Amino acid sequence: MKKPITYKGKEITINDFVPVIPWEQLEPIMGKRNTKAFMKWMSGQTCMADGCYPSDLKAWLTHGINFD
């Protein structure tokens, strides 16, 4: 069996990393208007250059404005 990878005595697993939703994935799923509204809502939020945190998208989907 492979020895686990550790750092400072702690085993590193995929659960130690933060998932990201790529910006490019938003418009094909949400449409242009919803994506624009979400991006405006995200203004000032902490995010990564590659995308947004799933919790932010979930909050917007729950409380945001729907443009269908």
pLDDT tens readout for residues 38-53: 999 999 888 889 999 9
Which residues share a beta bridge with 10? 7
Q: For residue range 4-14, what is the model confidence (pLDDT) as tens digits?
A: 888 999 999 88
User: What's the first-to-final CA gap in the chain, in angstroms?
Assistant: 51
Model pTM score: 0.73
Residue 23's pLDDT is 96
Residue 16's pLDDT is 85
Per the CB < 8 A criterion, the answer to whether 48 and 11 are in contact is: no
Q: What are phi and psi of 51, to 5 degrees?
A: 165, -170
Answer whether residue 31 shows pLDDT above 60. Answer: yes
Percent of the chain clearing pLDDT 90 (strictly above): 57
